[in-house]
Amino acid sequence: MTKAVHRLYLAILVAIVFITLITLIYKGISYYSLGIEERVYHPDHSMLKPSGIVGHGLGIAGTLFIIIGVSSYMARKRYRFLSRLGVLKHWLEFHIFLCTLGPILVLFHTSYKFGGLVAVSFWSMVAVFLSGIIGRFIYLQIPHTIEGRELSLSEIRDMKTDVAVVLRDSYQLDGVTQNLLVDSIKKKVGVYHKNPLVRYISNYFRDKRTIRTIKGLLRRNNMPKTDKKMILGLIRDDIKLNQKIERLDYMQNLFKYWHVVHSPFALIMLVIMVIHVAVTIVFGYRWIF
């Protein structure tokens, strides 16, 4: 999958989620904004209530999306025979898509009314969704191969290029500008802090200042815009790689702890969801079947 196709793929997934959400809000806002007692008199109550043809259908579709999203991604990670079916990164993106769209449909299935055992499943689903967003952020901080394997520290260091050599060999820079650029990259502004969050914020602003300094140096240099853009991109990549090397160990440990939180909530959600579906079938609730 090329970068252009991948971006189109992501754009379609995001568009589906937003269009679905906006459509459900637009079609049902007059119903969902009413109190529980008043909804009975709404003309769409028979369709939008949890057991209605639309409400029930949203619950079925949402449940299927969540189950497919979770099981397909877990299977892709665990079973070797599936390793040739696409890149793990793309499976993860599809997992996030289904596990975002599914909870939205389930939310409208409940018509914002939930209690008892179902409430436990619902809030577990919310916890899984929110922790998934955090997990996605942590995942992006850890370098992976295109197949999805985590890179070791030595492999990441091997990816680094000698910026000074590239600047000297590939671009027509005078010695002063070249030395200033290299010094700007190597310069460490700020004091090391034992708190990783404080350190992360400090380094973020440090790197922003570095980029601004480099932009100023390049503006004063009489060279083609394309070369300036390439140099800036090269330095940004080097800074990002340094950031990932600096916080690799911390992020890997954080990702392990994240699984301890994410997985139990997902299991609770799925178990109660299965019980809920079984109870509705036993009590004779049917959709269009």
The structural domains of the chain, with segments of one domain joined by +, span: 3-151+251-282, 160-246
Quote the pLDDT of residue 190: 45
Residue predicted with more confidence, 224 or 112: 112
Contacts of 262 (CB under 8 A, 6+ apart): 128, 131, 132, 135
Quote the pLDDT of residue 14: 93
Residue predicted with more confidence, 236 or 16: 16
Quote the pLDDT of residue 40: 87
pLDDT band of 61, cuts 50, 70, 90:
very high
Structure tokens at 159: 């990816």
Quote the pLDDT of residue 22: 95
What is the pTM assigned to this prediction?
0.67
Quote the pLDDT of residue 276: 82
User: pLDDT digit string (tens) for 196-245?
Assistant: 667 777 777 777 777 787 777 777 777 777 777 777 777 777 777 777 77
pLDDT band of 1, cuts 50, 70, 90:
low
Quote the pLDDT of residue 189: 44
pLDDT band of 264, cuts 50, 70, 90:
confident
The answer to whether residue 121 scores a pLDDT higher than 50 is yes
Contacts of 275 (CB under 8 A, 6+ apart): 117
Candidate ranges 22-26, 233-237, 257-261, 285-289; pick with highest mean pLDDT: 22-26
Q: How many residues in total does the chain contain?
A: 289
pLDDT band of 284, cuts 50, 70, 90:
confident
pLDDT band of 151, cuts 50, 70, 90:
low
Quote the pLDDT of residue 160: 60
Quote the pLDDT of residue 15: 95
User: pLDDT digit string (tens) for 140-150?
Assistant: 777 665 555 55
User: pLDDT digit string (tens) for 35-55?
Assistant: 888 888 889 888 888 888 998
Helices 88-109 and 3-32: angle between axes, nearest 10 degrees? 10
The answer to whether residue 9 scores a pLDDT higher than 60 is yes
